[in-house]
Amino acid sequence: MGKGNYAIPKTKQEATARLASLRKAIEHHRYLYHVLDTSEISPEALDSLKHELVLIEEAYPDLVTPDSPSQRVAGEPQKGFKKIPHAVPQWSFNDAFSEDDMREFDLRTKRFLKSALGLPAARGLPAQAGLSAAKNIVQAGHEVSPAYTCELKIDGLKVVLTYESGLLKTGATRGDGTVGEDVTSNVRTIESIPLVLTEPRSLIVEGEVWMPKSEFERQNKERKKRGEEPFANPRNIAAGSIRQLDPEIAAKRHLDTFIYDIARIENKFPETQVEELALLRTLGFKVNPHFKLCADIEEVIAYWKSWQIKKDKQDYWIDGVVVKVNEKMYQDAIGYTGKAPRFGIAFKFPAEQVTTTVEDIVLQVGRTGVVTPVAHLRPVSVAGSTVSRATLHNEDEIARLDVRLGDTVVLQKAGDVIPDIVAVVKEMRTGREKKFVFPKFVLESDGTANPIERVPGQAAYRCVNKNSFAQKRRKFYYFVSKKGFDIDGCGPKVIDALLDAELISSFDDLFTLTLGDVLTLPRFAEKSAENLIESIEKARRITLGKFLTALSIEHVGEETAHDLADAFGSITKIRVASFDDFNNIYGVGEVVARALVAWFADEYHSALLDRLLTHVQIESQKSKVKSQKLSGKTFVLTGTLATLGRDEAKDKIRALGGEISESVSSKTSFVVAGENPGSKIEKARTLGVRVVSEEEFLRMIY
């Protein structure tokens, strides 16, 4: 039997043993937390252990003992959404997770005020007066000590509202920050969004759409009555509701909003963030009342701490505090990076943690043959969704955590997204847990044993047989993805169905499929089958760079594929190229050169290419250089760019005569740093390579 996300033991003997372990662990961590003022696991994880104990005791009431921890005192439907370009770029805030992060943000903010006053005004706002005022303050030698406005970070869906002469014109989602979806019809159904302002002002505002917890619970009760699956969390249902094609459905969801920012406004802009919130409220917008003006960063931290305690009492989900410099002239002086405001930050609450058990550890094979251990968990709800799997990364990580089969573990979502095992609750061990030992092989879906081995000098294991069925699936997924042939409607599930039905066994088989073949697959109607065949037909023309990328040649990623395409211009020349021909290309190197020679010399690959070339037309590829503005400059892109896609950025660089590399070296001219840039930044600094923001990069290419 079971209850919620917890498995209730089937026998009294099992329940007795589990309760003994739970009571021991809870008492241990209770003592650490309440007596010694320290902790090994979070309060949320401890609560999860207590919750499981109560559920088992409810199932076996005669096992309740006086010393148990539980005994302490207790419109019209639309055909689709049209795209809507944002008049003002929609930035996202960088995150902070600790008090030290916030103190560093405070120091960084003050440094920027003193050294970065020459930056252009952000968002196209008329801020020159503010910049001049800020410069005068600093140049006069005054100490810069900005105040901060703290606002609750609502866990909902961002919406951008445009008003003209006081009337609501459009409502849009954030999208990629540059282009969103037009959801005006649905936005109009939200009672807290004014259709007409109290003053005939033209402006663009930003806010959060959310569903009240009480409404969320009501909706789920109704769904259960109808035999439907309940929604996972209020944020998901808010996002899904605002993107309903039928506005009547959105109206029935009783969504709400908080508006928190003016992105653009005619006439004078408010001088502080607090005044901006006051103006929004005056104009008729719903503004969250719990914001606070803080004199310094320590007051900010105190506010953040207080709301960790109070957040659950609100009728909406709160996942942190947004902190902004209050003075607008300081905001304009500090400005923006390529993807986020420098003058603000999202101070996140600690990640939610729960406990669960490891039921199995299964090896997953990637397209390059790398084997990743994945923990199969007793399903548990964490941060609003049910999790049953978490990657354990590699053998060294398993050893570091000492994770064993049957262990009770602490699970959290890294960045509130990726499930991550952070600790083992060793006090829960019964002695029946088993250490995981990497096997000498993995089983294919057909039962074939595929040997694996640890890569010398690395923590990774890899399949010895590089043509295993599991790898074949992954390679097919990559072949049809956007990085390769970009076959719309041909995702992993379709590839699996085609492979399982033995309709395809090599890449070229995709181009021999008929309508009749596809109609034999489960869940394929005539229209969906026609769409797939049409997508395959469109994919028959492909650039040389994408063609090479799609082949999954070892060590050849997108950048190297484009370098090869630029250097040789045709697949014919690449097929007969020598080791020296490859090695002489900037960005290739000896390891990649050897891999290329070996791949093209292989008889199977040669025959595959011959067959593919009878079905597809490869466009001769040389970069279309419009100018030599970036001639002789080599760029490395790292992280996520906010204002343009990575492929678009690469095309811009090539069009201006520049080159792109996948790795940082002494020959690199610039490293362009987007969101979450990773280790390439550190390497650039070590080598003395200049790191530029997206904003600086945009000035280079435009």
Residue 639 near residue 605 (C-beta atoms within 8 A): no
Cα–Cα distance between 455 and 453 in angstroms, integer?
6
The backbone torsions φ and ψ at residue 226, rounded to the nearest 5 degrees and listed phi first, read: -85, 0
The CA distance from 599 to 640, in Å, is 32
- Bridge partners (DSSP) of residue 450 are 442
Long-range contacts (CB closer than 8 Å, 24 or more residues apart) made by 218-222? 219/253
Nearest-angstrom CA–CA distance, 558 and 548: 8
Residues sharing a CB contact under 8 Å with residue 265, sequence separation 6 or more, in sequence order: 201, 202, 203, 204
Coil, helix or strand at residue 322: strand
Q: What type of residue is 5?
A: N
Which residue, among 195, 206, 197, has the nearest Cα to 172 in the 3D structure?
A: 206
Catalytic choice (3, 79, 153, 538) = 153
Distance CA 364, CA 460 (A): 12
Active site residue 50: no
Do residues 567 and 548 lie in contact, with contact meaning Cβ atoms separated by under 8 Å?
A: no
Quote the Cα angle for 132-135-141, to 5°: 145
What does the angle CA 447 – CA 451 – CA 456 come to, to the nearest 5 degrees?
155
Looking at this protein, which amino acid is placed at residue 650? K
Give the 3-state secondary structure percentages of the chain, helix then strand then coil, rounded to 5. 40, 25, 40
Which segments of 303-439 are extended strands (E)? Answer: 318-325, 344-348, 353-365, 370-382, 385-391, 404-405, 408-414, 418-424, 434-435
First-to-last C-alpha distance (Å) of the chain: 64
Nearest to 539 by CA among 528, 527, 550: 550
> Using a CB cutoff of 8 Å and minimum separation of 24, what contacts does 17-23 make?
17/430, 18/56, 19/53, 19/56, 19/57, 19/60, 19/63, 19/68, 21/408, 21/427, 21/428, 21/429, 21/430, 22/49, 22/52, 22/53, 22/56, 22/428, 23/53, 23/67, 23/68, 23/69
Beta bridge partner(s), residue 325 = 148
Catalytic residues: 153
